[in-house]
């Protein structure tokens, strides 16, 4: 049964009821992350990848004041065409968007909140937010990090966006008690590139290993999230040196224009896309698709693990 006030698609509800594999997907990446029709095409391709790998996709957004978990094709198209007309919605904005009957594209924190509310344990995104550069002075820290500290959802991402302070972000995640694992690497990935210079707290090498950690987190009632950082595929990784140079230029432009708050990230990402001739957008799409592939396989492994545990429990009770 769907939680009060949340519309869950029949497909997602059926999958959850049967213990099937479900993967939550955010909507800000569609409405604010790329232009139409590229955003709709990418959203449909990401959902298709999730399905092809045995899981049910559940894109999350707020439509006319109602949180939706699992969008149909018409709703996805509406989200893509409307673009930035949909309010970028983090946890702090949920009540306001719902109360006003507004339309909200959920960020990492809001997507995690709704995923957990309906019982989805795995969420795939591009990259999470973090501690901004000079965050020790500005206290500009993404709500993604505090959400990970209090909401038991496993987030599959390409690490931390490269426009952020990665080492301080990892320190903050440790303070929040978040399990951080790098997938098939010892180094924490930096969104556009697989290297950051920061060692990952732990390494996982298979969907089954990830599933065991997610299941243990639930069984221990830790009530905190998990971040599984997946490097962008090497064949799609844009030159880290070129992108880093573009990031530095974009940061200076943002400072000169006095752009602050949640307007910084979309401005910088857009400028980096222009400065790198669009290669950053293609890299972004490639890593999201790779994360969807990995996340779906983890969701299937988790579903299988829990079904086996239920079967053993039933047998032992006979």
Catalytic residues: 26, 161
Residues 6 or more apart whose CB falls under 8 angstroms from that of 227 comprise: 128, 148, 154, 155, 157, 173, 178, 179, 180, 181
Residue 70 DSSP class:
S
CA atoms within 13 A on the CB side of 123: 35
Q: Which residue has the tokens 């500009």?
A: 140
**Residue 56 contacts residue 22 (beta carbons within 8 Å):** yes
Neighbours of 12 (CB within 10 A): 26
Beta-sheet pairing, 56-63 with 66-69: antiparallel
**Structural tokens at position 213:** 């950690």
Total length of the chain: 318
Q: Scanning the structure block, which residue is given the tokens 């009530």?
A: 223
What CA–CA distance (Å, rounded) separates 190 from 158? Answer: 7
């Amino acid at each position: 049964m769907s939680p009060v006030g949340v519309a869950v698609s029949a497909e997602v509800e059926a999958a959850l009821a049967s213990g099937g594999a479900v993967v939550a997907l955010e909507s800000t990446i569609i409405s604010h992350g790329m232009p139409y029709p590229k955003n709709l095409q990418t959203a449909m391709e990401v959902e298709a990848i999730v399905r092809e790998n045995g899981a049910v996709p559940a894109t999350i957004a707020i439509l006319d004041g109602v949180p939706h978990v699992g969008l149909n094709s018409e709703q996805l198209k509406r989200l893509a065409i409307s673009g930035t007309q949909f309010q970028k919605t983090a946890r702090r904005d949920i009540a306001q968007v719902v109360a006003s009957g507004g339309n909200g594209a959920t960020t990492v924190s809001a997507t995690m909140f709704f995923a957990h509310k309906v019982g989805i344990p795995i969420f795939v995104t591009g990259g999470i937010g973090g501690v901004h550069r000079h965050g020790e002075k500005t206290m500009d820290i993404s709500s993604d990090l505090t959400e990970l500290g209090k909401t038991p959802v496993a987030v599959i991402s390409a690490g931390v966006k490269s426009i952020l302070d990665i080492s301080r972000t990892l320190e903050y995640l440790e303070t929040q008690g978040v399990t951080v694992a790098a997938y098939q690497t010892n180094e924490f990935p930096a969104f556009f590139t697989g290297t950051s210079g920061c060692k990952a707290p732990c390494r996982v090498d298979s969907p089954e290993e990830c599933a065991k950690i997610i299941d243990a987190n639930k069984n221990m009632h830790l009530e905190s999230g998990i971040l599984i950082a997946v490097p962008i595929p090497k064949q799609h990784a844009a030159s880290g040196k070129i992108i880093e140079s573009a990031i530095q230029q974009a940061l200076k432009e943002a400072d000169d224009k006095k752009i602050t708050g949640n307007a910084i990230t979309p401005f910088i990402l857009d400028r980096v896309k222009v400065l790198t001739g669009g290669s950053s957008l293609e890299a972004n799409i490639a890593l999201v698709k790779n994360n969807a592939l990995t996340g779906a396989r983890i969701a299937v492994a988790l579903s299988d693990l829990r079904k086996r545990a239920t079967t053993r429990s039933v047998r032992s009770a006979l």
